[in-house]
Amino acid sequence: DTGVSQDPRHKITKRGQNVTFRCDPISEHNRLYWYRQTLGQGPEFLTYFQNEAQLEKSRLLSDRFSAERPKGSFSTLEIQRTEQGDSAMYLCASSLIGTTGELFFGEGSRLTVL
C-alpha cells in the first residue's frame, strides 16, 4: 500500500500525559500537512512541511504542540500535557509540488483525552 499511513489509529490518554502521532506520507510527496478535525467541523490546519522544513504553523497551535519531519519523509506530531480540548481526529495529508495540489489523507489518528 503506497498511500498515507498514520499511527496509532486510536489513542486514549489521561489529561496531562504526552502523546505522539506518526505519519508516513506517499513516498515521493514533498509537502506534508497536519490538520485537526472535531465533530461537525472541517479539517483545521495545524502545520505543514516542505521536505524537512516546517514552513508554517497555525497561530492557534499552542506551544504544547510540536511537529517534526527530520529527514523529509515521515513526520511526528507530539502533544504535551494533553487537555480534554485536544480530543479530536488528527489528520495527516501529503501532496506533490507542481501538481494540482490535491491532498492525499491518511485515515487519521483519533485522540481521546479523559
Partner 1 sequence: RKEVEQDPGPFNVPEGATVAFNCTYSNSASQSFFWYRQDCRKEPKLLMSVYSSGNEDGRFTAQLNRASQYISLLIRDSKLSDSATYLCVVNGGGSYIPTFGRGTSLIVHP
Residue 84, helix vs strand vs coil: helix
How far, in Å, CA of 25 to CA of 23, rounded?
6
Q: Is 48 a residue that touches partner 1 (CB under 8 A)?
A: yes
Query: Which of 80/103 has CB closer to partner 1?
Result: 103
How far, in Å, CA of 51 to CA of 69, rounded?
8
Q: Is 100 a residue that touches partner 1 (CB under 8 A)?
A: yes
Query: Which of 3/16 has CB closer to partner 1?
Result: 3
| Count of C-beta atoms within a 10 Å radius of residue 80 | 14
Residues in contact with partner 1 by CB under 8 A are 31, 33, 35, 40-45, 48, 50, 55-56, 91, 100-103, 105-108
